[in-house]
Amino acid sequence: MSQQKNKYDLIIIGAGFAGMYSLYKAKLAQINVLVIEKASGVGGTWYWNRYPGARCDVESMQYSYQFSKELQDEWEWTEKYATQSEILKYANHVAERFNLKENIKFNTEVKSVIYKEENNNWVITDNNNKTITSTFCIMATGCLSTINKPNFKNINQFSRPILHTGTWPHEKVNLKGKKVGIIGTGSSAIQCIPEIIKEVDHLYVFQRTPHYTVPARNRPLKYIRKKITEIARKPQGYDTNLYVEEVKAHYKDFRLRAQNSVAAMVLPINEESALEVSKERRKSVYEDRWKKGGVPFIAAFQDLNFDRDANETAAEFVRNKIKSLVEDSATAKILTPKYPIGCKRLAVDSNYYETFNKPNISLIDLNTEPLDEFVSNGLSTFKNLYELDVIILATGFDAMTGTLFNIDIQGKNNIKLKDKWADGPKTYLGLTTESFPNFFIISGPGSPSVLTNMIVSIEQHVNWIFDCFKFMKKNKKSSIEASLQAEQEWVKHNQDVSVDHVRSSCSSWYMGANIKGKARIFMPYVGGYANYVKKCNQVSQNNYEGFIIK
């Protein structure tokens, strides 16, 4: 283990949930480690995304670490879906409980990560031009961590505040009595709009594509605790009314069920086909899911993700809900998506559609009234001028590759990651990429990552990497790199499994379609979490097949 100043065995970039758990494992293994983090605190996504209404749409009893039984038992979530501030509190609790902060260099942005073949190490340079070296490098930089700020015409002309949901200010933003415009209607906007409407004088929602969303039915967990559920007694069953004590009493089994699932979470998948049940049965299943709320809606029938006719039954159900919830029929029409449900990530909301019945909201359809330019006091479309005090960009992220490309990452023979991935990311298992030895990516493209319960996926990745470190140490190896053949096969497999999946059936950030000039290729692995884990385990059990280890 190296102890020289500025020389480490392992550098981890990012102190979100992936970076924190990697650090925990490194400390446990007594590896000489440093984490570099751009923010002034831990939490990653939950540090940055502080917009009103921000919360996780994976249930809090599942969206947490499982590596420590004590941590799992002692932490008390207060709501079915935790707010951003509660998740951030949890992240800080973890960091303090396991003394993680002492190994994190905050307020520091990594600018380059360059492999030096002659020394078999990585040279990492930060924004202060400080350089360190490390044998191994883990990119724990997140999948949705670089915001997409479209190049709107004359954006700098607007003389008042422009906020982005993905980099929301830390201090309270006062929107009281203000005329506010919000551009974008994805998951972030869908959470933000019903919150800020309570405060603003008037809200103008600029929509390019309507998004499907289902009610969250969020509730305090204390209320749920009073209810009787069968979760612990029905190992295959599931009830959205998670009963905290019962889950905690059987957490191990509960987690195991998530490990063996498609999305790394306990999700009630109805094994029936939407097309093979009666019309009445279909409606009652959808009504039941709608009433219970949350992402389980998309698991109402087993064929919604693969059969377009089956999918259309679910899409039509939600379209009818929009019609019944939104009083003004013209507004309802604009809010109604026409593409398959679940193609863009299904959003989960609290009173989103109902918000459009308020007197102080206007929906602007950018398809019939395209944006022209920002002006000093507002936004002008080709039809109207909207005077605004604040503009919110809810325009999403340069997902999965944006943050990696913002860093100058160079592997063997000075090959730049950005160039290697110009036609789309190329990884082996989403964890590694050929020509970049001893370099790992957590929840990278080619891994299930954003299609799953992220904390569970993160723990699996990190455990795999640290098992690999152990293997290398035991076998006195100093370098591991994906073989080109293994990478090519994995990339092909990724594309094969995505072809017929609903997720690749429309333009979305999964496909890189939201960023001008970005390669159009389905980035996350859509073959299912359990299948992915099986493959990873097979690779490690076969002495890291597909890797060149020296």
DSSP string, 143-208: SS-SB-----TTGGG--S-EEEGGG--SSPP--TT-EEEEE--SHHHHHHHHHHTTT-SEEEEEES
For residue 414, how many C-alpha atoms fall within 13 Å in the half-sphere facing its CB? 0
Nearer Cβ to ligand NAP (62/432): 62
Q: Of these, 27, 97, 149, 208, which contacts ligand NAP (CB under 6 A)?
A: 208
Burial 459-480 (b: 16+ CB within 10 A, else e): bbbbebbbebbeebeeeeeeeb
Q: Quick one: which of 41, 181, 186, 446 contacts ligand NAP (CB under 6 A)? A: 186
256 touches ligand NAP (CB under 6 A): no
List residues bridging with 347 in a β-sheet: 213
Whichever of 282 and 344 has its CB closer to ligand NAP, that residue is 344
Is 27 an interacting residue with respect to ligand NAP (CB under 6 A)? no
- Binder to ligand NAP among 66, 185, 218, 240 (CB under 6 A)? 185
- 345 belongs to the binding site for ligand NAP (CB under 6 A): yes
CA dihedral for 77, 80, 83, 88, sign (positive or negative):
positive
Q: Which residues are CB-neighbours of 223 under 8 A, at least 6 positions away?
A: none
Closest CA to 186 of 45, 392, 46: 392
**Residue list 89-148, contact with ligand NAP (CB under 6 A):** 144
Please identify which residue in 57, 365, 434, 459 interacts with ligand NAP, judged by CB under 6 A: 57
- Which of residues 144 and 526 has its CB atom nearest to ligand NAP in the complex? 144
Question: What residues numbered 460-499 form the site for ligand NAP, per CB under 6 A?
Answer: none
The distance of closest approach from Cβ of residue 151 to ligand NAP in the complex, given in angstroms and rounded to an integer, is 8
Among 125, 150, 232, 351, binds ligand NAP (CB under 6 A): 150
β-bridge mates for residue 409, sequence order: 113
Compute the distance between CA of residue 375 and CA of residue 407 in angstroms, rounded to an integer. Answer: 33
Instruction: Find the distance separating the first CA and the last CA of the chain, reported in whole Å.
Output: 18
- Cβ atoms of 505 and 340 within 8 Å: the answer is yes
Residue 187 phi, psi dihedral angles, 5° rounding = -55, -40
The interface region with ligand NAP, picked from 184-192, 321-329, 401-409, 539-547 by CB under 6 A, is 184-192
One-letter identity of residue 312: E
Chain positions 368 to 427 lying near ligand NAP, rule: CB under 6 A, are 394-397
Which of 269, 513 has the CB closer to ligand NAP? Answer: 513
Residues 278-337 binding ligand NAP (CB under 6 A) are none
Residue span binding ligand NAP (CB under 6 A) among the ranges 54-62, 130-138, 245-253, 377-385 = 54-62
Q: Which is nearer to ligand NAP, 38 or 55 (CB)?
A: 55
Residue nearest to ligand NAP (CB): 186
Give the list of residues 6+ apart from residue 194 with CB closer than 8 angstroms, or none: 53, 349, 350, 351, 352, 354, 355
Binding-site member from 56, 82, 203, 388 for ligand NAP (CB under 6 A): 56
Q: Find the DSSP H helices in 59-115.
A: 69-74, 84-97
Query: Site residues (CB under 6 A) for ligand NAP?
Result: 55-57, 144, 150, 165, 183-189, 191, 208-209, 345, 348, 366, 394-397, 450, 509, 514
